[in-house]
């Protein structure tokens, strides 16, 4: 690994650690975050990890970008990966059903298997939280097994229900709030991902791991889940 520093704004640099998305890269990305924060201290206004990079915004009134580069080179020297198990493991209960996960059948047909098998395969592994974005609390997670990779919908929905669990390509995610979206929906959870009363607001943080657990409709309802059906996407039938 040879980190590259790229200027992206008058006060910001990107540290590019890798070119390909891989769960094995997250311990390195998070180690870089820790080292950068420790080295720059208050001179760093934001340190934001993503799939293969770290965005660093510096206090330009106290530090030039050329000086920031020297600090970053120091921070990245001798970098060692963080413990892969250091993040929090979240177990997320999901009601997998075609009424709230209308692409469950589509994914099964693509695989030439049953919807029960799709559920089994989606819940068979833990997923790394690569990054937060799109909406408050929305975690981009992966990687789902390669055979399950499914393209985004050709026509995104205008409204996806809060708690919807979906996949797109080799990633999986949960919609924290009602919003437009083009991911293939498999089910729904009652777990709240964004809460202003929660410390830090969001349930997930980059480097956390997520394990989906299948539950039945009654359990979902008892947890406060909304059973309102999700209409099939345009052109997906």
Q: What CATH number should be reported for the domain holding residue 12?
A: 3.30.1360.40
Domain that holds residue 12: 4-76
The rounded distance, in Å, linking the Cα atoms of 183 and 140 is 12
Residues 217 and 109 in one domain: yes
Query: Beta-carbon neighbour count of residue 105 at 10 Å?
Result: 16
Which DSSP symbol is given to 71? H
Residue 181 covered by a domain? yes
So what's the pLDDT on residue 236? 54
Question: Span 65-82, mean pLDDT?
Answer: 94
Question: Span 23-34, mean pLDDT?
Answer: 94
Cβ burial, residue 46 (10 Å; 0-12/13-18/19+): exposed
Indicate the length of the chain as a whole number.
237
Evaluate whether 225 touches 188 at the Cβ level (below 8 Å): yes
pTM of the full structure:
0.90
Helical ranges in 41-136 per DSSP H: 65-76, 104-111, 115-122
Residues 122 and 14 in one domain: no
So what's the pLDDT on residue 1? 77
Question: Span 68-95, mean pLDDT?
Answer: 92
Evaluate whether 87 touches 205 at the Cβ level (below 8 Å): yes
Residues 94 and 171 in one domain: yes
Query: Beta-carbon neighbour count of residue 120 at 10 Å?
Result: 13
Residue 237 covered by a domain? no
pLDDT digits over 176-193, tens only?
A: 999 999 999 999 999 999
Q: What is the mean pLDDT of the chain?
A: 94
Residues 163 and 53 in one domain: no
What CATH code is carried by the domain that includes residue 202?
Answer: 2.40.100.10
pLDDT digits over 86-130, tens only?
A: 789 999 999 999 999 999 999 999 999 999 999 999 999 999 999
Residues 107 and 71 in one domain: no
Residues 128 and 214 in one domain: yes
Residues 96 and 151 in one domain: yes
Residue 228 covered by a domain? no
Evaluate whether 117 touches 111 at the Cβ level (below 8 Å): yes
Residues 93 and 36 in one domain: no
Quote the number of domains for the chain. 2
Residue 26 covered by a domain? yes
Token pair in block for residue 224: 């406060």
b/e per residue 155-188 (b: at least 16 CB within 10 A):
eebeebbbbbbbbbbebbbbbbeebebebbbbbb
Q: With a cut of 80, say whether residue 84 has pLDDT above it.
A: no
Residue 44 covered by a domain? yes
Q: With a cut of 80, say whether residue 175 has pLDDT above it.
A: yes
């Amino acid at each position: 690994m040879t980190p590259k520093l790229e200027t992206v704004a008058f006060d910001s640099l990107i540290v590019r650690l890798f070119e390909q998305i891989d769960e094995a890269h997250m311990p390195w990305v998070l180690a870089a975050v820790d080292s950068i924060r420790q080295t720059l201290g208050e001179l760093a206004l934001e340190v934001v990890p993503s799939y293969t990079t770290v965005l660093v915004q510096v206090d330009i009134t106290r530090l030039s970008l050329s000086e920031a580069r020297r600090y970053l080179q120091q921070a990245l020297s001798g970098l060692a990966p963080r413990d892969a198990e250091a993040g929090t493991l979240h177990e997320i209960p999901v009601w997998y059903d075609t009424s709230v996960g209308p692409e469950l059948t589509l994914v099964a047909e693509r695989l030439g298997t049953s919807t029960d098998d799709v559920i089994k395969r989606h819940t068979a592994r833990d997923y790394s939280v690569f990054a937060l974005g799109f909406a408050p609390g929305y975690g981009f997670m992966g990687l789902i097994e390669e055979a399950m990779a499914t393209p985004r919908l050709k026509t995104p929905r205008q409204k996806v229900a809060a708690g919807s669990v979906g996949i797109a390509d080799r990633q999986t995610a949960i919609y924290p709030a009602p919003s437009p979206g083009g991911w293939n929906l498999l089910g729904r959870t009652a777990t709240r991902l964004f809460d202003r009363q929660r410390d830090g607001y969001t349930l997930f943080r980059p480097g956390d791991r997520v394990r989906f657990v299948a539950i039945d409709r009654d359990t979902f309802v008892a947890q406060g889940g909304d059973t309102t059906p999700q209409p099939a996407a345009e052109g997906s039938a």
